[in-house]
Amino acid sequence: MAAKMKFAQKMNDGMTTDSSPTIPSPAEQSRALRDTLGQFATGVTVVTCRDAAGQPVGMTVNSFNSVSLDPALVLWSIDRQALGYDAFTRGGHFAVHVLKADQQHISNLFAGRGADKFGQVHWHAGPDQVPLLEDCAARFHCRLAQCVEGGDHTILLGEVLEFSADGGEPLVFHRGRYRALAGD
């Protein structure tokens, strides 16, 4: 199965250069881009911080990635519409928790918009009062180093201050579904 799609080129007057009646709609183009990006398998993380009132804030994130070893930097991107947007981008600290294969329910919980997330998990306040989930494959405690605008998302660059790993099989996200790693 092969699919190929090119974004229609916009001319200065806003008209497309391709007058073909079969050109995909913006919604179809967006769906196709999402599906194609979904071919890239990722792990799943929950990122946490405190809001200005000191309340714990957290969300499921698969845009997490490593950036640099020296200095130790990681990144992830946040939707500008996320309820936690102000809390994460206002500066300060955040923690990234890499989820284990059996933690799909945690991923679903923290992907719920504005849900009571912290009432349903075991957590405690860590360094800088950042909420830390008690069970995960790995954890990174970070200082927000920089925010970079990226279209409808903002990229957060974090300086890693502390990290730890329990190991275990990771939760994998691929083509819009949770997966388990096939055995070696």
Ligand X SMILES: Cc1cc2nc3c(=O)[nH]c(=O)nc-3n(C[C@H](O)[C@H](O)[C@H](O)COP(=O)(O)O)c2cc1C
User: Would you count residue 154 as binding ligand X (CB under 6 A)?
Assistant: no
Concatenated DSSP letters for 125-174?
Answer: E-GGG-EEES--SEEEEEEEEEEEEETTEEEEEEEEEEEEE---PBPEEE
User: Would you count residue 51 as binding ligand X (CB under 6 A)?
Assistant: no
User: Would you count residue 49 as binding ligand X (CB under 6 A)?
Assistant: no
User: Would you count residue 132 as binding ligand X (CB under 6 A)?
Assistant: no
Return the range that interacts with ligand X (CB under 6 A); candidates 5-13, 78-86, 119-127, 132-140.
78-86
Concatenated DSSP letters for 8-63?
Answer: PPBPTTS-BS---TTPPPHHHHHHHHHHHHTTS-EE-EEEEEE-TTS-EEEEEES-
> Residue 44 or residue 132: which is nearer to ligand X going by CB?
44
Return the range that interacts with ligand X (CB under 6 A); candidates 3-11, 94-102, 107-115, 156-164.
107-115
- Asked whether 84 and 154 are in contact (CB, 8 A), the reply is no
Neighbour order of strands in the sheet with 42-43: 42-43, 172-174, 177-179
The two three-digit tokens of residue 54, written as one number: 């000191």
The two three-digit tokens of residue 119, written as one number: 């009432």
As a whole number of Å, the CA-based R_g of the chain is: 19
User: Would you count residue 113 as binding ligand X (CB under 6 A)?
Assistant: yes
**Binding test (CB under 6 A) with ligand X, winner from 38, 43, 51, 63:** 63
User: Would you count residue 104 as binding ligand X (CB under 6 A)?
Assistant: no
| Alpha carbon 10 to chain centroid, angstroms | 30
> Residue 72 or residue 111: which is nearer to ligand X going by CB?
111
Q: How far is the CB of 25 from ligand X (least distance, A)?
A: 24
**Binding test (CB under 6 A) with ligand X, winner from 114, 119, 151, 167:** 114
Closest-CA residue to 59 (of 126, 156, 143, 166):
156
> Residue 59 or residue 95: which is nearer to ligand X going by CB?
59
Return the range that interacts with ligand X (CB under 6 A); candidates 9-17, 60-68, 96-104, 134-142.
60-68
What are the residues binding ligand X (CB under 6 A)?
44, 59-63, 76-79, 82-84, 107, 111-114, 173
